Structure 1
Amino acid sequence: MKLLLSLLFTVFVGSSLISQSVNDYKYVIVPEKFDFLNEKDQYQMNSLTTFLFNKYGFKAYVAKSDDLPLDYTRNGCNVLYADVTESSGMLRTKLQVKLLDCNDAVVFISEEGSSKLKEYKKSYHEALRRAFESIEELNYAYQENITVVVDEKPTVTEKVERPTVNKTPKVDNIFKSTTSSQEQEGNKSLVEIAVFAVQSYVSTDGAYEALTAGSSIQFFENSQKIGEVINVNVGAPFKVNTTQFSGKGYLKEGRLIVERIIKGIADPIEMIFIKK
């Protein structure tokens, strides 16, 4: 009985530590190809993995892509490296998602996701989405570790002499008002940039998906990223350019709307994305 309780306690503490340690990492890097597949992004598995990580609050990128963040390239140890492994049998497709640090130490392993579907792509996608259910339960939120160094110096009491009164015109108020005005303008520009919660959308025809996160909106087709809008201003329309469509977008009453421009048609076609 004591042995059983000890094992249960160990598992509980271990899972707690894993959940905390995942939050210490800022990015997730997904490889271009998984070892159990023969080609890069075969069955769009790498694109789907990246999409699902972003969906559940992570900042995920495909390795060697052009949009990797600068602080990743400067410090490769503030990221987790994703891998998907297969242990399928005759009747089931079984997948697990692993997260490793820069020293190849395993930080997290998902629950096994499985599927009985016969078609490879559908089976892999279903198994992967089920494996990500345990990643969703982590409720990931990046927690930056900031080390504060306090320089303790002995307090020195000094004799303070009163300054000589200068009768020249005061300029402090002018300087302060200018600074205050500049600060207000700076704060105004910051306020105008939207900060979105992580939210998934799907077009009413089911052909496209969108994901809002931070100050950007990403668009996907079959879980593959086709475009992104960054630094969206609050309450203002924004330009949308993807590999499949372009136009003007805006958010209205909880919906994402894109007025799609089609060559040869005078009026734009309205695409509506609703929350998933």
Structure 2
Amino acid sequence: MKNITIFLFVFLFAVVKAQTVSDYKYIVIPAEFNDFKDNKAYGLSNLLEKSLKAKKYTVLSSTKNDWPSDALMNPCSILNTDLLNDKSMFRNKLILQFKDCNNKVVFNEKGSSMIKEFEPGFQDALKQTLVKIPVSNPTTTVNKIAETTSTEPIKKQLQDSKETILQTSNFVRYSNGTISVQKIQIDNSQFILVDGNSSVPFATLKSTTKEGVFRVKLGSGESTIGYYENANIVIEMPKANGDYIKEVFAAK
């Protein structure tokens, strides 16, 4: 049994290792790139989005409330985009990168333009990198292998977590170490977390088609996702720079 497990792990690793851009359907373009902000954006995001859509990719924003359910359920089916200013005195140069869910670079291409003006120069450099991107041809190989080897344990874990929570009172307290919230079950498909100190709703969680995964509406109005993990409630809290941080609320 141990040998089979090792074989499956090695096989899965080999398949993931071989992933290319065309294996993906979804690509996230952030609201802005660190090297190309504000008046230095040069229209690169629009050019990139237009090109990716022409090559059959589905472009997503960094705001997860707009994501389709299959993207929310499988974040490893998504690539994240980065544009780097490859600074040079005599040319406008940049690097286009796509990274997977483990922050590994799947695609890395350099572009260089002799055009001296920044906007047309950087756009020309980006166009050179876009030529190298293949047409999207999504693969489900990795997903199928992962489901074959681990669907049942995960499903059981989610079910156990759900039962543990539902068997307790409708009023359960959770804490992330900084704030304390009270879980109030509204119905079978949704519940709210209320700030224990102010009685103000902290978040509303609604079920998705994926068991144990929720669409979350924060009290601030922002949207994100949440899920059960070992009887704890986990919420991916959005940060100002567009990234997300994992907040774990443990039952008290």
TM-score (norm 1): 0.42
Bigger-Rg structure (1/2)? 1
Q: Which has the larger share of strand?
A: 2
Q: Which has the larger share of helix?
A: 2
Which protein, 1 or 2, shows the higher relative CO under an 8 Å CA cutoff with sep ≥ 6? Answer: 2
TM-score (norm 2): 0.46
